[in-house]
Amino acid sequence: MTGRTYLAIPGPSVVPERVLNAMHRASPNIYEGEVVEMMNKLMADLRRVAMTRQNVAIYIANGHGAWEAANANLFSRGDKALLVATGLFGMGWANAAIRMGVDVEILDCGKSGPADPARVAERLKADTAHAIKVLMVTHVDTASSAKNDIVAMRKALDDAGHPALLAVDAVASLGCDELRMDDWGVDIVVGASQKGLMMPPGLGLLWFSDKAKERTAAADLRTPYWDWGPRAIGAEFYLYFGGTAPTLHLFAMREALAMILDEEGLEAVWARHARLARTVWAALEAWSAGNPHIGQNIANPAGRGHSVTAARISNGGALKLRRWLESEAGITLGVGLGMATADEPAYADFFRIGHMGHVNAHMVLGVLASMEAGMEALGISRGSGAVEAAAKTFGKA
Ligand SMILES: *Cc1c(COP(=O)(O)O)cnc(C)c1O
């Protein structure tokens, strides 16, 4: 394959050259010098990216590890939690907590749109004894691409007069969709390095409120490695990481956060993701017009995340198109997740386009035009004018 290949899946995302280059250096001393001295600013910048003045902890882990870190710090065995699920990733977090001994009640809100806040409020109001300790919500479920309204979740808690902590999985949305931890009254934000934060996989992140820290002081699932306390303070350098630091990842993080926070600016990053998302949706809308075998998973644009779009081309079209794009165009699209099991024929009908992190117009428009070429080559019927509609949508915004 000549030219750059493009992994257009919803994580791991494209790592900017600058971030790669930042890692390409000799291993630093972990007892003194640059990495030790850069930690104050790095921790402050991590707080900025989640829009909090409170606490953050870094783990050498992926998103699954960050889920487990959250669970370990929040719960004692047998504690009750309410998890609002809108796709496979919500279910994943719930199952991790269940396996750790948490009594998780799953409020399954389907996978074709965001959760109805009224349903959540109703369930919280019924919990008059306040048995539910934590309300767990996925911000953008990467499998369905549904985006939940976190402000509405906070309001549901407040309207019910319910004291539960609000915990949000923002692995797929942080650095893509608007998220304001302190302003929105969020107690826990779960993140990972390899999606909107433009780093390689390897770092799990946990932001937590002072209230969460006090409330969970006696959590008995907390074990030494996962304990967020010493990590947030870093009384000694190694304590930030519970052991050896992820040295080169720290340089990657410093570079990526500078790009997001100091150069482009967080609000501009959100606006770019919104614009590119609308560009993708415009093409899908044109393709699906009069062609019901093509469609987006989330009908209402307000309920869609800006970092990933889940879609369908029936009769195995999605699988054929993914294969064609990989062999003919150097583009890898995401597989469908959680829509059908791998042994069902419908598994071949789903795909996802990742548009998170280090992406711009030529990358997204290139994917869409290549999809048009692939559908032409494969004889997949579709509405016309998709690439033009996408270009016009980007141009207009
Ligand atoms: C990717 C993702 C995860 C899991 O992250 P891994 O790094 O794959 O373990 C969890 N939640 C959401 C919303 C994600 O997008």
Q: For the chain, which residues make up each domain, given as ranges?
A: 17-264, 266-396
- According to DSSP, the residues that pair with 135 across neighbouring strands are 82, 166
Q: Is 62 in the pocket of ligand 1 (CB under 6 A)?
A: yes
Atom of ligand 1 nearest to the CA of 308: 15
Q: Of the candidates 190, 204, 217, 188, which has an alpha carbon nearest to the alpha carbon of residue 76?
A: 217
Residues in the chain: 397
Q: Does CATH place domain 266-396 in 3.90.1150.10? A: yes
- According to DSSP, the residues that pair with 296 across neighbouring strands are 311
- Distance (angstroms) between ligand 1 centre and the Cα of 386 equals 30
The two three-digit tokens of residue 165, written as one number: 């902590």
Q: Is 270 in the pocket of ligand 1 (CB under 6 A)?
A: no
Q: Is 148 in the pocket of ligand 1 (CB under 6 A)?
A: no
> In whole numbers, what is the pLDDT of the chain averaged over residues?
97
Is 270 within 8 Å of 178 (Cβ atoms)?
A: yes
The answer to whether the 17-264 and 266-396 domains have the same CATH topology is: no
Write out the chain's pLDDT in tens, 397 residues. Answer: 799 999 999 999 999 999 999 999 999 999 999 999 999 999 999 999 999 999 999 999 999 999 999 999 999 999 999 999 999 999 999 999 999 999 999 999 999 999 999 999 999 999 999 999 999 999 999 999 999 999 999 999 999 999 999 999 999 999 999 999 999 999 999 999 999 999 999 999 999 999 999 999 999 999 999 999 999 999 999 999 999 999 999 999 999 999 999 999 999 999 999 999 999 999 999 999 999 999 999 999 999 999 999 999 999 999 999 999 999 999 999 999 999 998 999 999 999 999 999 999 999 999 999 999 999 999 999 999 999 999 999 999 7
Q: Atom 15 in ligand 1: which residue has the minimum CA distance?
A: 172
- According to DSSP, the residues that pair with 165 across neighbouring strands are 134
Cis peptide before 224 (omega within 30 of 0): no
Question: In a mutational test of the pocket of ligand 1, which residue from 145, 171, 176, 352 has the highest number of ligand atoms less than 8 Å from its CB?
Answer: 171
Q: Could you tell me how far CA 242 lies from the centroid of its own chain?
A: 25
Residue 340 burial (CB count, 10 A): 15
- CATH topology for the 17-264 domain: Aspartate Aminotransferase; domain 2 (3.40.640)
- According to DSSP, the residues that pair with 7 across neighbouring strands are 332
- According to DSSP, the residues that pair with 204 across neighbouring strands are 59, 192
Judged on CB neighbours under 10 Å (0-12, 13-18, 19+), 66 is buried
**Pairing mode, if any, of strands 6-8 and 308-313?**
unpaired
**Which pTM value belongs to this model?**
0.98
The predicted pLDDT at position 397 comes to 72
The rounded distance, in Å, linking the Cα atoms of 376 and 73 is 52
352 in a known ligand binding site: yes
Q: Is 134 in the pocket of ligand 1 (CB under 6 A)?
A: no
Q: Is 192 in the pocket of ligand 1 (CB under 6 A)?
A: yes
Q: Of the candidates 48, 26, 35, which has an alpha carbon nearest to the alpha carbon of residue 257?
A: 48
